[in-house]
Structure 1
Amino acid sequence: MALWRMVVRDIAPMHPARAKPEPQPVSQKIKEDPKPMKALSAAVTVPERELSFGAMLARPVVRRTRAQDLRIGVRAPGLDDTSWKRLSRGNLKVDAKLDLHGYIVQDAFDRLIEFMHRAKARNWRCVEVVTGLGSGATSGLIRRELPLWLQRADIRPMVLAVVHPHAANHGSVRILLRTKRK
């Protein structure tokens, strides 16, 4: 632990506003405020080994960075200008189209997953998914769920960008997919 502190002592956070102070180990907290622990220590004795384990649990959790969240109509990092302009202007040829009108949400989800895996197997570059705007009491459930479905771990690596083919129609999306080089 001391070696690690020596390694990271000169490192400054990239985002100081988000940096959190290191929590104190449990053993230091006990030493600072012994009054509540006197009553507890009379009833239960805690070995030092458990305190160090508790200190490890109190440390902040380091999480892996997530891949860029997918947002409709927002250019993803790493996408070249030409492909983005062609996709966003609707000039990119659509290889296949999936129409989800009239499906219940679970069936639409199953069809989308199957369609995306077929698109990957056939090395399609651009596909269109029509969800419709929705009507009735549960208006547009498929349309609202589609971005979440595209975030799934098995689908997200396939997708480069998602746009609405026409600004006034949010009932369909065009999806630019990663392709295998030939």
Structure 2
Amino acid sequence: MPRRGGKRPLRPGEKALWQKVTDTVTPRPGAILPITDLSEEPKPAPSMSPRKRRAPPLPIALPKKTTPPEELPPAYEAGDPRQARHVARGRVEIDAELDLHGLTQEQARTRLDHFIEFASLRGNRVVLVITGKGHLGESRYDPFEEAPRGILRQRFLEWVERTPLRDRISSVRPSHQRHGGRGAFYVFLKTRKPARRL
């Protein structure tokens, strides 16, 4: 049954085909161009996608500031006041003594390490290390030759600040004149904790 109301609207495929046909036809002079079918709403033009906003940059994780370990004072500046008074008066009971005179730096370091280790194992509290006063010149020296005057005194103060000696020493002080003065040092050893029984 034919539809009322005139012609049916063209389907999309038919419109495309008709458009191709009309594109190839030249209209006659004075001919009326067909009116576009206004029944269909024009499709909205595709909206331009807005530019994607750049995500804000992620915060850079800065490394946490680490508090540097507290530097311990040199061993030869440590000790309690009573200890200092005993040293000043020369009233220090010496458990053992080590003389480094005439040794090379290498020999002196090895001898000192063993001496402090054994003194600590024996439970000694105070030992005397004789380095000699001397005078350190500016000439170069060989650690395997006999140390020049004064170098062992300087090196001794460096050695006691390093492991394993530092772990066994509580303090170091220049000795009283009666025990050598500036040419020797009292080495106060840490008290060893008794081994725990199983």
TM-score w.r.t. length of structure 2: 0.55
Distance 1:90 1:65 in 2: 33
Q: Specify which of 57, 60, 65 is matched with residue 52 of structure 1.
A: 60
- Structure-to-structure mapping, 1:1-182, within 5 angstroms: 52=60, 55-56=62-63, 60-71=65-76, 74-76=77-79, 79=80, 81-134=81-134, 138-166=148-176, 169-180=181-192
Higher mean alpha-carbon deviation, 105-114 vs 129-138, is at: 129-138
Unpaired segments ≥5 residues, structure 1: 1-47
Task: Specify the structure having the higher radius of gyration (Cα).
Answer: 2
Deviation at 1:179, TM superposition (A): 1.9
Deviation at 1:123, TM superposition (A): 0.6
Distance 1:133 1:87 in 2: 18
Alpha-carbon RMSD across the aligned residues, in angstroms, is: 2.6
Unpaired segments ≥5 residues, structure 2: 1-56, 140-147
Q: 1:67 to 1:75 in 2, by over 3 A?
A: closer
* Counterpart amino acid of residue 115 in structure 1: F
Find the residue that maps to 2:182 and give its secondary structure. coil
Identity of aligned residues (%): 25
Q: How many residues align?
A: 126
TM-score w.r.t. length of structure 1: 0.59
List per-residue Cα deviations over 1:81-102 (Å, max 9, x = no partner).
4333223322111110000000
* Counterpart amino acid of residue 141 in structure 1: I
